[in-house]
Structure 1
Amino acid sequence: MGSWTRVFNDGKPYLAMVLMQLSYAVMSIIAKSALDRGMSPHVLVAYRLAVASVVITPFAFVLERKSRPKMTLTIFVKIMLISLLEPVLDHTFFYTGLKYTTATFTSAMCNILPALTFALACIFRLERVEIGRVRSQVKVAGTVVTVGGAMLMTLIKGPILELPWTKGRNHHSGRSGTSRVHNKDLVIGALMLIAGCCCWTCFIISQARILKSYPAKLSLTALICFTGTVEGTILALAMEWHKTSVWRIHWDIKLVAALYGGMVTAFALYTMGSVMKKRGPVFVSAFNPLGMVIVAVLGSIFLAEEMYLGRVIGSIVIVIGLYLVLWGKSKDQPQPTPEGTVARADRQTDAINGCIENPNPESITIER
């Protein structure tokens, strides 16, 4: 009985990450379906953040009521600024890119986050590149490979790949579905996704600094969700001021997208925070390509998305670059000393599954 308990405890982090990637994949499919049915990306962001605020705030209020530091005007202004980057602008760019492309393409492009984080950290001198060391050479090579894979996905289409469950269906149903993504839309969507990744990366770098002066991670997340809701609503009102009908929510896929998106955010925050405490950011990041595979399968089944050889090859190239960067980052982690203590080291922002995480294993970030 003890061995089974040990196996279950050891397997919980893996099960948690698989469930998280599955929830992200389902969210991508639901969001894409809602956007294809006319839902505004700006409205979706506002509603999703509102739901996330309602879900997260009670936990922050109760669990950190004694440990929450005093709020100052300076900290509050910083929170407002970073919440504009993520989740408002990041989610807006993400959903706009999703609307112009496909769920599979969007999920694959998100794998450029680790490489982009590394590049921006180097630009802002937050990451030291010792070109004589193998780990730095691998991280630079992984960044170049990832960018090349993203360009390959965007510019090269290739022949359609027939899957067992889509054989004979793609060419017929795709005409009125997701296959109408033209090259122009694909480029616009790719640029939107890259812009969203840049916002997310800047947010993570900024969040790492704010946590030093406001270490209440759950309360910080709730404040970011709340201020993001206000800012996202203002942005949506400005962008959709002539379309009051876009705010109407009925009992349809649009309501599901708003509610499910908020709950996924809360679930992901708890899951990643718990797993990162035990296994670290590299472990979490390594599961990101799994979400891409799940989205590709679900997208081809429920959205009739066509898979092209060029985009599959580009996705594989991106994943190779991802793991090169993650390998290099793993070598930056402090190694245990013979006495069992952990050596101190400066650690930069790392990337997650999906997505990016803060280098502090106990940090919590907003996720898609």
Structure 2
Amino acid sequence: MNSSKACAPYLAIVVVQLAYAGSNILCKLALEQGLSFLVFVVYRHLIALLILAPLAYVLERNRRPSLSFRLLVKVFILAMFGITIHQNVYYLGLDYTFPTVASALSNVIPALTFILTAILRMEKVSLRSAKGRERIAGTIFCISGALVFTFWKGYLLEGFVKRPLIEMHAEGDVHHKEDWLKGSVLILTSYIAYTAWLILQAIICEVYPARLSLNTMICFFASLQSSAVALVFERNAASWRLGWNLQLLTIIYCGTVISCLTYYLLTYCIGEKGPVFAATFIPLQLVIVGFLSAFIFAERLHIGSLIGAFIITVGLYCVLWGKSRDSNEEDERSSIMPCSEIFVPTRACQP
């Protein structure tokens, strides 16, 4: 029983990365077919709200903490960073580049999360210890690799297949879709907002452990914020109409699987293991999306992309290695120290 409970966060975070990888591919196809990303963000969170609200009301009716105005403001800011800013900027960037680029650049999230948690003293880092220096060096590598990936192309490499499995034809105005630099900068900006979302969520979970209710409020505020943005920038009524096509499938998938399931699983993982743990598994997306994009889109990468991805991977595992050594030392101290001397922190987001 204990082993299965210990493995649950690892299984949950792998499911999250698989779900996000699938959404990256679907969203790219739907955007190419003319789906407005502004409308898409609104619809997917309205679907999530309709699903989560009844579940939160029934399952957490007797153990939902009381709400305060200060907490509502925090959740409003959480929704703004994690959804309204992150997703709208992300999908705008994805419209200019390929899913593999977006997934590769996501490897900077563990480094950014580590930096911010260290600044906020949520993670302990010591320059005097080898493991502390490893984590700092890994963070520098991750950021350097992202810069190489973004700003240096180099030679164009051959793809795995000659022709894409699915031909993409954009509707309407074509800006051309392969604006590498613009797309990369936008996606990096969205990941900064996502990092803030991970950390702020960990802070809020400590005072509001009702996960379903928290995610319901996030989707509610995200729907309001995204609707306001969409009504200002997307005034074409035709963009709000949906048919029985890939665009509707993408909205339903992201509304149910991403905005419902993965948001809940992320809240669970952050509550059990912290924001750095949730961020360190993001590189799994790169492997999944890279494999799928190579065959679905016949995507070709540049030599600079591979070098940048390699530098990011080296940096990531430096951070992970230092983090694992910290965890091992804490476990050893806990097994040696008497119970009266062990400081047990409050576990956030307990079910």
TM superposition score category, shorter chain reference:
0.7 to 0.9
Of 79, 83, 101, the residue aligned with 2:75 is 79
CA distance in 1, matches of 2:28, 2:134: 35
For residue 30 of structure 2, the aligned residue among 31, 34, 49 is 34
Distance 2:226 2:343 in 1: 39
- 1:282 CA displacement: 6.7
Does residue 1:337 correspond to 2:331, yes or no?
A: no
Cα drift, residue 98 of structure 1: 1.1
Equivalent residues of 2:206, 2:349 under 8 A apart? no
Q: Which amino acid aligns with 2:246?
A: I
Equivalent residues, number: 340
CA distance in 2, matches of 1:305, 1:312: 13
Q: What amino acid does structure 2 have at the position aligned with 1:337?
A: S
> In the aligned structure 1, how far is the partner of 2:279 from the partner of 2:197?
17
Q: CA deviation at 1:52?
A: 1.7
Instruction: Output aligned runs, 1:154-193, within 5 Å.
Output: 154-164=150-160, 166=161, 168-169=162-163, 181-182=177-178, 185-193=179-187
Matching of residue 196 in structure 1 with residue 190 in structure 2 = yes
Q: Distance in 2 between matches of 1:53 and 1:72?
A: 21
Residue 237 in structure 1 maps to residue 235 in structure 2: no
**1:295 aligned to which of 284, 289, 298:** 289
Q: Tell me how far 1:288 sits from its aligned partner.
A: 2.8
Identical columns (%): 34
Distance across 2 between alignment mates of 1:133 and 1:343:
22
- For 2:16 and 2:203, locate their aligned partners in 1 and report how far apart those are by CA, in whole Å: 27
Question: Residue 199 of structure 2: which of 202, 205, 208 is its match?
Answer: 205
Kindly provide the amino acid, as one letter, of the partner of residue 209 in structure 1: I
Deviation at 1:24, TM superposition (A): 1.7
Alignment match, 2:116: 120
In 1: Cα distance, 2:345 partner to 2:233 partner: 42
Structure 2: which 5+ residue stretches go unaligned?
Answer: none
Aligned residues of 1:68 and 1:216 also touching (Cα < 8 A): yes
Change (3 A) 1:96 1:136: same
The whole-number CA distance in structure 1 between the counterparts of 2:204 and 2:315 is 30
How many angstroms apart in 2 are the aligned matches of 1:274 and 1:208? 10
Letter matched to residue 258 of structure 1:
I
1:80/1:271 CA distance change after superposition, 3 Å? closer
Call closer, same or farther: CA 1:221–1:275 in 2, change over 3 Å.
Answer: closer
- For 1:283 and 1:120, the matched residues in 2 are separated by 14
Equivalent in 96, 99, 105 of residue 100 of structure 1:
96
Moved more, 202-211 or 187-196: 202-211
TM-score, normalised by the number of residues in structure 2: 0.83
Instruction: Quote the RMSD (CA, aligned, Å).
Output: 3.5
Matched residue, 2:127: 131
Distance in 1 (CA, whole Å) between partners of 2:272 and 2:206 is 21
Shift of residue 234, structure 1, vs aligned partner: 0.9
> Displacement, 1:307?
2.6
CA-to-partner distance for each residue in 1:92-149, whole Å, 9 max, x for gaps? 1211121111100001111110111122334455555421112221121111101111
Structure 2 partner of 1:252: 245
Match of 2:211 in 1: 217
| Residues 1:285 and 1:96: Cα distance change in structure 2 (over 3 Å) | same
Deviation at 1:262, TM superposition (A): 1.4
Contact map agreement 1:48 1:261 (CA 8 A) in 2? yes
Q: CA offsets per residue over residues 145-203 of structure 1, 9 Å max, x none?
A: 01111111112223343354x0x337xx799999x654xx2222222122212112222
SS at match of 2:298: coil
Structure 1 residue runs of 5 or longer lacking an equivalent are: 348-359
- CA deviation after TM superposition for structure 1 residue 83, in Å: 1.1
CA deviation map 1:311-351 (0-9, x unaligned)? 1222222122122222323344432324796944779xxxx
Residue 47 (structure 1) aligned with residue 40 (structure 2) = no
**Cα gap change, 1:270/1:250 in structure 2, threshold over 3 Å: closer, same or farther?**
same
**Inter-CA distance 361–100: structure 2 relative to 1 (3 Å threshold):** farther
- Specify the alignment match of 1:317 in structure 2: 311
1:261 is matched with which residue? 254
SS of 1:39's partner is: coil
| Whole-angstrom CA distance in 2 between matches of 1:327 and 1:344 | 24
Kindly provide the amino acid, as one letter, of the partner of residue 253 in structure 1. Answer: L
